[in-house]
């Protein structure tokens, strides 16, 4: 954590030009075409867990299996970034499972992050180049990426607060590149429950965010079944090309639910009860963004009708 705060203070005098960082981001965006198997550790809020990853890339798409190796058994099988089955607590809460990062746009990210190549490191026995992405505003966190020199895969990823505190760590402890993948390695266990999401062309009450941080765009609108009722839950996925958050919209049908806010490591959770002509809705924002930013997004949620009335009044 010594590097990013220093670069934030001293600017570019200790780092290579931004063009070098853009080149690495372009390589990273294509890195998931590699096929590999490995083990990585995940750290958040002082808690560690170990995970196995089996990743098959190629022209036909990406299939990835993640399995937690210690503590509660949790497993995810995804195809092209979309979960097909999940087990454990993940089955009730995850909407999108995506790591390593993909579909990055270097030109877009440069508008929101100061990007610099900081130097070199060694992770899991492999040579790596260290890339820093420092946010230009208060609505996102800084990243320190250690990218494999051979493949540009992220061997290590650190998420860092504006105060230089470590919020989250991904780090490989072993990585093996694979030419021909064994199909059995991608076969999930019996506890992996199928996950189904449907695309929604129109949101309940035509909900929309009145404000999102600059650079964040709506990437997907999905619908899933609520774990607490028979009602569908709308899920709006926003991202800036690197950071992401999700807005959940669920009818309450008279249920007494209080507003809430919490932060666990990098993950902010803000829930707010909102009234509509058809009854109250619970709006929940979840993502690796600062708590104040999540609160502002939640407060801005409104129906299209409300937005129209507000616009007319102005």
Residues 182 and 300 in one domain: no
pLDDT recorded at residue 222: 79
pLDDT at 97 over 70: no
Residue range of the domain that includes 243 = 196-313
| 42 in a structural domain | yes
What CATH number is attached to the domain comprising 108? Answer: 2.50.20.10
CA distance 66 to 262: 27
pLDDT at 306 over 70: no
pTM for the full model? 0.83
Look up the CATH number of the domain holding residue 266. Answer: 3.30.200.100
One domain for residues 180 and 203: no
Question: How high is the pLDDT of residue 58?
Answer: 86
What integer pLDDT is reported at residue 80 of this predicted model?
Answer: 84
Is the pLDDT at 305 greater than 80? The verdict is no
Q: 94-112 as b/e, with b when 16 or more CB fall inside 10 Å?
A: ebbbbbbbbebebeebbeb
Give yes or no: residues 210 and 288 share one domain: yes
Same structural domain, 268 and 142: no
Identify the H or E element spanning 297: helix 291-300
Rg over CA atoms, the chain: 20
Looking at the structure, tell me whether residues 155 and 250 fall in a common domain: no
Backbone angles phi, psi at 116, to 5 degrees: -145, 145
**Does residue 191 belong to any structural domain of this protein?**
no
Q: 62 and 92 share a domain? A: yes
How many domains is the chain partitioned into structurally? 2
Rounded Cα–Cα distance for residues 87 and 82 (Å)? 15
The answer to whether residue 40 is domain-embedded is yes
Same domain, residue pair 201 and 182: no
DSSP secondary structure code for residue 289 in this structure: S
Both 42 and 157 in one domain: the answer is yes
Closest-CA residue to 54 (of 77, 34, 37): 37
Position 287 in a domain: yes
Find, among 176, 241, 210, 184, the residue nearest to 37 by Cα: 176
Mark whether 226 and 165 lie in a shared domain.
no
With a cut of 50, say whether residue 11 has pLDDT above it. Answer: no
Which one of 153, 186, 219 terminates a domain?
186
* Whether 177 and 215 share a structural domain: no
Cis peptide leading into 100, omega within 30 of 0? yes
Domain boundary among 157, 186, 215: 186
Q: What does the pLDDT look like over 227-255, one tens digit per residue?
A: 556 677 888 889 998 899 999 998 888 78
Same domain, 207 and 159: no
Q: Is residue 18 part of a domain?
A: yes
- Reported as a single tens digit per residue, the pLDDT across 107-153 is 888 899 999 999 999 999 999 999 999 999 999 999 999 999 999 99
Q: Are residues 161 and 50 in the same domain?
A: yes
As a whole number of angstroms, the distance between CA 258 and CA 271 comes to 8
pLDDT band at residue 298 using 50, 70 and 90 as cut-offs = very high
Q: Any bridge partners for residue 154, and if so which?
A: 147
> Taking a C-beta distance cutoff of 8 angstroms, is the pair 261, 270 a contact?
yes
Is residue 185 classed as helix, strand or coil in its secondary structure?
helix
pLDDT in tens, 188-223: 999 998 877 655 555 555 678 999 999 999 888 877
Longest dimension (CA), the chain: 63
């Amino acid at each position: 954590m010594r590097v990013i705060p220093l670069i934030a203070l001293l600017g570019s005098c200790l780092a290579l030009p931004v063009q070098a960082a853009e080149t690495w981001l372009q390589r990273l965006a294509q890195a998931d075409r590699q096929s590999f198997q490995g083990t990585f550790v995940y750290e958040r809020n002082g808690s560690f867990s170990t995970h196995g990853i089996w990743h098959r890339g190629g022209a036909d798409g990406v299939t990835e299996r993640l399995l937690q190796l210690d503590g509660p058994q949790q497993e995810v099988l995804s195809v092209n970034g979309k979960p097909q089955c999940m087990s454990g607590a993940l089955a009730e809460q995850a909407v999108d499972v995506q790591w390593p990062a993909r579909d990055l746009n270097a030109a877009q990210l440069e508008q929101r992050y100061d990007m610099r190549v900081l130097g070199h490191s060694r992770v899991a026995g492999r040579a790596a180049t260290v890339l820093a992405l420092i946010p230009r505003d208060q609505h996102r966190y800084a990243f320190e990426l250690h990218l494999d020199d051979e493949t540009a895969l992220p061997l290590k990823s650190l998420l860092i607060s504006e105060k230089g505190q470590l919020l989250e760590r991904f780090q490989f402890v072993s990585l093996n590149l694979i030419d021909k993948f064994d199909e059995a390695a991608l076969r999930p266990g019996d506890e992996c429950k199928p996950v189904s999401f449907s695309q929604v062309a129109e949101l309940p009450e035509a909900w929309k965010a009145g404000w999102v941080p600059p650079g964040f765009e709506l990437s997907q609108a999905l619908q899933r079944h609520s774990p607490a009722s028979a009602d569908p839950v709308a899920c709006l996925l926003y991202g800036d090309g690197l950071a992401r958050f999700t807005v959940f919209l669920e009818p309450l049908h008279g249920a007494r639910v209080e507003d809430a806010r919490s932060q666990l490591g990098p993950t902010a959770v803000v829930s707010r009860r909102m009234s509509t002509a058809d009854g109250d809705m619970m709006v929940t924002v979840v993502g690796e963004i600062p708590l104040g930013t999540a609160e502002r997004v939640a407060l801005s949620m409104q129906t299209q009708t409300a937005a129209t009335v507000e616009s007319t009044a102005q």
